[in-house]
Amino acid sequence: MRDNALRGDCTLAADGELRLLQITDMHLMAERGGTLLNMDTDDSLEAVVDTAVKRAHEPHALLITGDIAGDGSAAAYSRLEQALKPLGAPSFWLPGNHDGCSQAHVPTERFSRSLTTPHWHVVMLNSQVEDQVGGHLAAQELEALSAAVDTATTTQRHLLVALHHPLHALGCAWLDPQRVDNASVFMTEVGRCQKSVVVISGHVHQANDLTVEGSRCLTSPSTCIQFEPGQANFKVHDIAPGYRWLTLHPNGDLETAVVRVEGRSFVVDLDSGGYL
């Protein structure tokens, strides 16, 4: 998202556990029914939302971790608003590398910088670099992270950080170079936290769960095409789209799992060599 800025703080009243859903990498195209590697990304998003509705998670909030638009179209953002409505929870969005839209064309009230909850402080970061696939945290994002660590520390809260690009290598040689290129600065900052730290990222279209220097670093399936883990070269995975649920407890404990759509198949070009 050009001329982007994540702004403002929202308060979520979640007295006990905080229940979140991570929904990511929708790649919605200009027209409804648009496709990515032959997969209809509106249809797959609706199937993911339907699966989550049936699971009755009762989320306090939805965290949307980027690549909302697949081709930079403004129409993607209004269609996402509609698609998420059945979940009946407020949603908080951040941009990915494919979100090339001007801020004038997106619902800026969705792009909050932080969420304050009774036991967890949530901060959203923008790791997008214009015209690049890979991620980087610019100075203002590192300042926001530092401020969030200060807030979490002084208020005795646990910290959850959401951003599009992962911080660490996942074991996919073609994808790993796209991770945040200054992740060491990030890790030094969160190293100041005295309580739990959880980091959620999108971009990699696969589930991953790493603990690095005491921080739990998670990724989620995309709501459309999936990338096969452990591959040296671009490889689409023949596995259904999905989402991640997270239950964050007042004592800092985390329960989380990925849920995928069941009982139907999706059309996707499994032999593709990649996409831009």
Which CB, 110 or 119, lies closer to Fe ion? 110
Which CB, 159 or 241, lies closer to Fe ion? 241
Question: Smallest distance from the beta carbon of 182 to Fe ion, in angstroms?
Answer: 17
User: Which stretch of DSSP H or E encloses residue 93?
Assistant: strand 91-94
Q: Which stretch binds Fe ion (CB under 5 A): 49-57, 70-78, 167-175, 198-206?
A: 198-206
Which CB, 36 or 84, lies closer to Fe ion? 36
Applying the rule CB under 5 A, the residues between 215 and 234 that interact with Fe ion are none
Furthest C-alpha separation in the chain: 51
Question: Smallest distance from the beta carbon of 69 to Fe ion, in angstroms?
Answer: 11
Which CB, 65 or 112, lies closer to Fe ion? 65
135 sits near Fe ion (criterion: CB under 5 A)? no
Question: Smallest distance from the beta carbon of 196 to Fe ion, in angstroms?
Answer: 26
Among 51, 97, 196, 208, binds Fe ion (CB under 5 A): 97
DSSP bridge partners of 163: 201
Question: Smallest distance from the beta carbon of 24 to Fe ion, in angstroms?
Answer: 9
203 sits near Fe ion (criterion: CB under 5 A)? yes
Which CB, 59 or 95, lies closer to Fe ion? 95
Helix/strand/coil percentages in the chain, nearest 5: 20, 25, 50
* H-helix segments, the chain: 41-55, 75-84, 139-154, 183-190
Cα separation, 118 vs 121, whole angstroms: 8
Cα separation, 102 vs 199, whole angstroms: 27
How many residues sit in the footprint of Fe ion (CB under 5 A)? 4
Using the 8-state DSSP alphabet, how is residue 214 labeled?
Answer: T
Q: Taking CB positions, which residue lies at the least distance from Fe ion?
A: 203
Applying the rule CB under 5 A, the residues between 51 and 70 that interact with Fe ion are 67
Within 13 Å and on the Cβ side, how many CA atoms surround 48?
A: 32
Q: Which stretch binds Fe ion (CB under 5 A): 51-59, 145-153, 186-194, 197-205?
A: 197-205
Residues in the chain: 276
166 sits near Fe ion (criterion: CB under 5 A)? no
- CA-based torsion, 187, 191, 193, 194: positive or negative: positive
Question: Smallest distance from the beta carbon of 100 to Fe ion, in angstroms?
Answer: 12
Cα separation, 66 vs 79, whole angstroms: 14
Cβ atoms 33, 24 nearer than 8 A = no
96 sits near Fe ion (criterion: CB under 5 A)? yes
* Residues forming the site for Fe ion (CB under 5 A): 67, 96-97, 203
